Structure 1
Amino acid sequence: MPPAAADPSEQRRRAAARLLRATGALSTAATARMDASVPWFRELSAEDRSWVGLIVQAGVRGFVEWYGADGGTPGSGPALAGSIFEAAPRTLAGVITLGQTVDLVRLSIEVVESNVDSVLEPEEAVDVLAALLRYAREIAFATAEVYARAAEVRGAWDARLEALVVDSVLRAEADETVLSRASALGWTARGRVVVVLGSAPARRTETDLFDEARRRARAAGTDALCAVQGERLVVILGGVEDPRAAADVVVGLFGEGPVVVGPVAGSLAEAHVSARAAVSALRAASGWPEAPRPVLANELLPERVLVGDGHARRHLVEDVYLRLVGARGTLVETLAAYLAAGGSIEGAARALFVHANTVRYRLRQVADLTGYAPGEPRDAFTLEMALVLGRQSGRRTPARPASDTTTHL
């Protein structure tokens, strides 16, 4: 009469008991294997290495407990698979990458597999190895879930923090706290800063949009902070050399309509000056449909004046009109005559009773002093606006020295 077949449940319990007694040895073997063959493990601090050791031990013990209960049944899932990561703090997810964790799990499984034959009877080892494969698959899913959850939480927090920083800059509240928050988001720029504004694109998620803006900015050697406020996309660029060139890098991410670039600010703490000009310029940009994209805020000074921007008005009076008045009185007279003559040098010369070359010389002086060439229609419009505003102001004192934030670029 053949011997009775062994009860599968009893066999699992016996195998689980043997594995449980060997848990310490298996965990030690796995840790030693990591120390010998995984470079990143050796570079961890002693505290982080101990946490990793706890994860390995919890994983091995979790498998033994699962297998001893019902893990030998095909289709059953390890209830403790996700809980093995609770042995270590959540901060460890910021120290060890997902790829490194996968390496950790793979190595631990390999160590258990290679030691099964020395711990179990041959008939038990076959069933345990099959169960170990199922357990490894479930652990892989649990690992991905832990890191996906951590990334989701971190991404949501970073998005809120970034929106807060951008809002503080636009509201001129960029104090040390805001600068610290920007640093936490990876902002490293110590150089000049500009604010770029335009409409937000349709049918594109903010996460995807911001990631692409930061990728493009990094490729150009600048930093970027982004936010969507209503229908408006705001991009703050740091480490800027040429404001127009910097904005060209991200202009394709904006929706339809004008994209404006504020004047250069010295730092993120002063970026509200750039933001203020950009906001005004975006509001006034419809007055110049042929404007380039992107357009500098200082190229829209006449339109900004017409929508009531006092800063633009003061800019034209102090940095254009009064500079001409303070340099040479005849420059204002010559410019006015040239504009009144419809841009005719000869007509201005006749009105002033001077030679045409004298008019040309004075107009070149106007261009050198202000950055606006009277012979260019757009610049002539700006200069005429400056003359009107200057006369209305009644001021005749010399202009203050122009700062970087008011230079016509």
Structure 2
Amino acid sequence: MSEAGGLRWPGSGAENSADEAWLTAIAQAAAGDSQAPLELLVEYLTLLADAAISGRRPREHELAIVRELGRRAAEQGIPAGRVVDLYLSAAWRMWRDLPDVVPYRNRDTVRASAQAVLRAVGEAIAVLVDSYQVATQQLVRQEESLRRELVDDLLRGDPDVSRIVERAEPFGLDLGRPHQVVLARPADGLPEGDTSANMLELFILDRFGDREVLVATKEGLLVVLIPTTAPSTAPRTITHDVGTLIHDALLRHRSGREWRVSTGRPYPGAYGIARSYEEAREALTLADRLRLDTAVVDARDMLVYRVLVRDQAAIVDLIQAVLTPLTQARGGAEPLLATLEAYFAVGEVATDAARRLNVSVRTVTYRLTKVKELTGHDPGDPDQRFTLHIAVLGARLLEWPSRDLPRGADTHS
């Protein structure tokens, strides 16, 4: 059979130009009504006409063509409803005109023809929709796979910049603009099939009106790649509190679930994305080691801690010189360290520290006195307090005293 410009009339195989013109006119009218491509009606009108005249059911090779048309429609991004509307529109137009083309002799013939056409329409549309859905699922899986690969390469800092720019283009990413990475991690882990990523992408698109956003999952984390400057057509630009906005959206999405969110600083270019990701990931790690209570951490606020981590040899020396005497206390160093940590966190107010630790004020003051006795450093003295505070932060970063301090060459990062 020929395509839309010359549809074949069923029968002996000889082409009839008048009948072909009739089928073509129906196809053109149906395509115009539904705003769908004319080519999607190839074979469908022929099998309907054949069903109306001979009463036969669609043959497998005809349905195979319809199945292929469903796949093609999905790949072209044509809405499923529009494709179904095209097929129904073509069917009723053919049925309306059929008596003028092939006069029926009696009522039984009309009834049998109607049943055959309805059956052919049902089978064809069922095959069409099924093929469309399968193709759509395959396209979604393929896009998700491409998205994950792109995100992985961006976060890793793929050295093939020209290639990664080309791959980013279909997702609307302009790598010349500054981007930042935001990481979100649930306290209970990220299960397979979790819908938080989809929700988060819709939220950001709705909130900022910017299509240049990628949300993916990586190693149990939600990864958000977001521009920090918006084009002139966008209603709002990304603000510095995007971490808080994302955290609040995640809490609303699933009430009762705890999240920790970290934000890297924005940088331009493909390598800037990898740098922002490393900062956000390091901020998460440092927040865990420091046992920070805050649910949202910013890489900017973690710079001082990164300095401590970088000069590990110096911080080990400081811990050994200042804090190791605490191990002589009854119960070990941990209770005294926890007290110092709480005391500094609340602005050196013993009452607030006691409330934070769920102990009495007397216990807090006793422990602070013990610290002064063992270390020779007074937590109440401004100069000595600074030394103690830095030493406590370093201890938390190195997970001391639960882990031994690095020795020798291990102290150099």
TM exceeds 0.5? yes
How many angstroms apart in 2 are the aligned matches of 1:64 and 1:85? 19
Q: Which residue of 2 aligns with 1:24?
A: 20
Counterpart of 1:210?
A: 197
Give the gaps of 5 or more residues in structure 1: 1-14, 42-51, 314-338, 344-376, 390-409
Q: 1:11-160, aligned counterparts within 5 Å?
A: 17=11, 24-34=20-30, 37-38=33-34, 40-41=35-36, 52-64=37-49, 71=56, 80-86=62-68, 90=72, 93-118=75-100, 119-123=102-106, 124-160=109-145
Q: 1:166 aligns with which of 151, 174, 185?
A: 151
The CA deviation string for residues 66-108 of structure 1, in whole angstroms up to 9 with x for no partner, is 6778746xxx997733422536983774153322211211111
Match of 2:286 in 1: 284
Deviations 1:233-283 (A, max 9, x none): 222112455554323343344864421101111244421111111111111
Identity over aligned residues, as a percent?
19
TM-score between the two structures when normalised by the length of structure 2: 0.59
Matched, 1:266 2:268: yes
How many residue pairs end up in the alignment? 296
Match status 1:275 vs 2:277: yes
In 2 relative to 1, CA 158–309 (structure 1 residues): closer, same or farther, beyond 3 Å?
farther
AA paired with 1:55?
A: L
Given the alignment, which residue of 247, 250, 253 partners 2:246? 250
The 8 Å contact of residues 104 and 110 in structure 2, kept in 1 or not, is answered as yes
Question: Which residue of 2 is the match for residue 12 of structure 1?
Answer: none
Relative to structure 1, the CA distance from residue 258 to residue 233 in structure 2 (aligned partners, 3 Å threshold; closer, same or farther) is same
Query: 1:307: Cα distance to partner?
Result: 4.5
More helix by share: 1
Matched residue SS, 2:267: coil
- Residues 85-139 of structure 1: CA deviation (Å, up to 9, x unaligned): 5369837741533222112111110111112222141432321112212222222
Distance 1:283 1:236, change over 3 A: same
Q: Given residue 289 of structure 2, which amino acid in structure 1 is its aligned partner?
A: G
After superposition, give the CA deviation of every residue in 1:173-198 in whole Å (9 maximum; x if it has no partner).
26222222222123357643111123
Which range moves more in the overlay, 268-277 or 187-196?
Answer: 187-196
The alpha-carbon distance between structure 1 residues 139 and 35, as it changes in their structure 2 partners (threshold 3 A), is closer
Aligned AA for 1:247? G
Q: 1:148 to 1:309 in 2, by over 3 A?
A: farther
Q: Deviations over 1:129-179 (max 9, x none)?
A: 122122222222222222212211211111111111211122122622222
| Equivalent pair of 1:54/1:88 in contact (CA under 8 Å) | no
Secondary structure, counterpart of 1:259 in structure 2: strand
**TM-score, normalising length: structure 1:** 0.60
Q: Is the 8 A contact 1:194 1:238 kept in 2?
A: yes
Contact persistence 1:190–1:239 (CA under 8 A): no
Structure 2 Cα separation of the partners of residues 257 and 85 of structure 1? 45
Q: Unpaired runs of 5+ in structure 2?
A: 1-8, 230-236, 252-256, 316-343, 349-381, 395-413
Residues 1:271 and 1:81: Cα distance change in structure 2 (over 3 Å): same
From 150, 162, 173, the equivalent of 1:187 is 173
Code of the aligned partner of 1:126? R
Name the CA distance, whole Å, in 1 between partners of 2:174 and 2:79.
23
Offset at residue 226 of structure 1 (A):
2.5
Counterpart-to-counterpart distance in 2, 1:54 and 1:243: 48
**Against the structure 1 CA distance between its residues 292 and 128, is the aligned structure 2 distance closer, same or farther, given a 3 Å change threshold?**
same
Amino acid at match of 1:34: A
Alpha-carbon distance in 2 for matches of 1:16, 1:210: 51
- Would the aligned equivalents of 2:190 and 2:220 in 1 still touch at CA under 8 Å? no
Between the aligned partners of 2:288 and 2:262, the Cα distance in structure 1 is 11
What is the identity, as a one-letter code, of the residue corresponding to 1:180?
E
Q: What letter is aligned with 2:149? A: L
